[in-house]
Amino acid sequence: MAETAIRRIGVVVKPHQHEAVKTVCELVVWLDARGIRLVGEPVLESEGIEQQTGCAIEILAGDELAASVDLLLVLGGDGTMIGTAR
């Protein structure tokens, strides 16, 4: 069986969750050290991730984000997960 490596992870964050934005920044650093790129959705841009934390992250919208990553990580509650699944 062929082994598939995860190279890109998408992240979706519940709006107005500043702790989640900080967590995303920590993930960027941790994943980058392992050769994995983290890609975010527009909420991260509107939450000012780069201004708040200094972390730069590629931003892609909805379907484009889902189509370009190997794994999607959702930081939020039930509503965020359901909305992302739709």
pLDDT at 21: 84
Gap between the Cα atoms of 79 and 13, Å rounded: 11
State the total domains in the chain: 1
DSSP state letter for 76: S
- Confirm whether 1 is domain-assigned: no
Q: What is the pTM of this model?
A: 0.82
- CATH number for the domain that contains residue 80: 3.40.50.10330
- Confirm whether 73 is domain-assigned: yes
Q: Which domain holds residue 37?
A: 8-85
- Confirm whether 3 is domain-assigned: no
Confidence of residue 49 (pLDDT cuts 50, 70, 90): confident
- Confirm whether 80 is domain-assigned: yes
pLDDT at 35: 94
pLDDT at 3: 65
- Confirm whether 68 is domain-assigned: yes
The SS3 assignment for 10 reads strand
